[in-house]
Structure 1
Amino acid sequence: MWILLVINAVMFLVEFSGGIKASSLSLTGDSLDMLGDALVYGCSLYVIQKGKKVQAQAAILKGGIIFMSAIAVFARATYQLFAQTVPTVQLMSGLGLLALVANLICFLLLIRHRNDNINMSSVWLCSRNDIIANTSVLLTAGLVFLTGSFLPDFILGLFLTVVFAKSAGKVLTQARAELI
C-alpha cells in the first residue's frame, strides 16, 4: 500500500503542474484524483488492521474525497467553458501516458485484493477510475489535436465528474451498509 501512496503522490505533483502548464482540464482533474487516491491509500494504511466499523468510516471519508474531486473537476470545467483555452497536446498526451502506466501498476498490485473487504474494494475502485481517466485523457489529447478545440477536454471533464460522482455514491452506499 505504501508503494501505491508514493506513486499517486508523485503523479499528483507531476500531473497537476503539467495540467496547469498545458491548460488541460483533464490532466488537472486526473491530478486531483491522484491526490485523492494518495490520501485514500494513507487512510487505508491506517485502518487496514482496524475493525469493520472503522473501515466503513474510512470508506465514508474516501467517498467524500472522491465526491470532492467530482466537484473540483466540474468547477474547473465551468471555468474552461468561459476561458476556452486549447490544451497543449504534446504535454497532455505525454503525461496522460505516464499516468496510465503508473495507474496500471497500482491496478495490478490491487486486483487480487479487491474483494477482501470494504476498505480494499474502495481502494480498487479508485484505481479502476484512474485507468478510465487516463485512457480518456489520451483519447481527448488526440481529439484536441484533430480539432484544435478545447471542447474535447471540456467534455472529458464533464465525463470525469460523472464517473467520480457515481463512484463516490457506490463507496458511500457500501460503507453505509457496513455501518448498519
Structure 2
Amino acid sequence: MRIALALNLAMFVIGTTAGLWAQSSGLLADALDMLSDAAAYAMALIAVARGPAFKHRSARLSGILLFVLGLGIFVDVARRALGGTEPVGGVMMVFALLSLAVNATVLRMLARFRTGEVHLRATYLFTRADVVANLGVFVSGAIVAITGLRWADLVTGFLIGAYVVREATEILRDSRKRGSPA
C-alpha cells in the first residue's frame, strides 16, 4: 500500500504537468484521479490498525472525495469545451502509457483486496478505474494525433468523470450496505 501511495503521488505530479503541457482534459482528469487514489491509500494505511467504524468512515470519505473529483472533472471538460483548447495527442499517448504501466502494477499488488474489507476494497476500485482511464486517454490521444479532433479529449475527460462518479457511488453503496457499526 505504501508503494501504491508513492507511485500515485509521483504520477499525480507527472500527470498534472503533462496535462497542462498537452492542454488535455483527459490527462488532467487522470492526474487528479491519481491524487484521490493516493488519498485513499493513505486513509487505508491509517485504517488498517483501527476499528470497523473508522474503516467504514474511511471508505465513505474516500467515496465522497472521489465523487467530488468526478464533478470537478465535469467542470474542467465544460470549461475546455467552451474555451477551446488544442490538446497534443502524442504527449497524451506517452503519459497515458506511463500511467497505465504504473496503474497495472499497482492493480496487481492490490488484487488481493478486491473482496476485502470496505476500506481496502475502495483502494482496489480506485486503481481499477485508473486503468480504464489510462486506456481512454491513450485512445483519445491517438485520435487527436491522427485527426486533430480535440473533441476526443473532451469526450474522454467526460467519460473518466462519469466512471469516477460511478466508482464513488459503488464505494458509498458498499460502505452503507456493509453497515457502519457505530
Output the TM-score relative to the length of structure 1. 0.97
User: Does the 8 A contact of 1:26 with 1:153 survive in 2?
Assistant: yes
Encode CA deviations 1:97-116: one digit per residue, 9 max, x unaligned: 00000000100000122112
SS in 1 for 2:45: helix
Deviation at 1:89, TM superposition (A): 1.4
1:42 aligns with 2:42: yes
Question: For structure 1, which segment, 163-172 or 82-91, has the greater mean C-alpha deviation from structure 2 after superposition?
Answer: 82-91
User: Does the 8 A contact of 2:140 with 2:156 survive in 1?
Assistant: yes
Please give the residue correspondences for 1:20-59 in structure 2 after superposition, counting only pairs within 5 Å: 20-59=20-59
Count of residue pairs the alignment pairs up? 180
Residue 169 of structure 2 is matched in structure 1 by 169
CA distance in 2, matches of 1:96, 1:7: 15
1:136 aligns with 2:132: no
User: Does the 8 A contact of 2:90 with 2:142 survive in 1?
Assistant: no
SS in 2 for 1:50: coil
Deviation at 1:174, TM superposition (A): 1.1
CA distance in 2, matches of 1:147, 1:82: 20
SS in 1 for 2:37: helix
Encode CA deviations 1:13-72: one digit per residue, 9 max, x unaligned: 000011001000000000000000011100110001212211110011100111111011
Instruction: Report the identity percentage.
Output: 27
In the alignment, residue 179 of structure 1 is paired with which amino acid?
A: S
Encode CA deviations 1:74-100: one digit per residue, 9 max, x unaligned: 011001111221211121111110000
CA distance in 2, matches of 1:152, 1:89: 10
CA distance in 2, matches of 1:69, 1:46: 22
Please give the residue correspondences for 1:2-151 in structure 2 after superposition, counting only pairs within 5 Å: 2-151=2-151
Output the TM-score relative to the length of structure 2. 0.96
CA distance in 1, matches of 2:166, 2:137: 19
The runs of 5 or more residues in structure 1 that have no matched partner are none
User: Does the 8 A contact of 1:24 with 1:153 survive in 2?
Assistant: yes
CA distance in 1, matches of 2:72, 2:6: 22
CA distance in 1, matches of 2:146, 2:95: 18
The runs of 5 or more residues in structure 2 that have no matched partner are none
CA distance in 1, matches of 2:89, 2:151: 13
Which consecutive aligned stretches of 4+ in structure 1 deviate over 6 angstroms post-superposition? none
User: Does the 8 A contact of 1:29 with 1:157 survive in 2?
Assistant: yes
- What RMSD in Å do the two structures reach over aligned CA positions? 1.0
Deviation at 1:137, TM superposition (A): 0.5
1:179 aligns with 2:180: yes
Deviation at 1:118, TM superposition (A): 0.6
Deviation at 1:146, TM superposition (A): 2.2
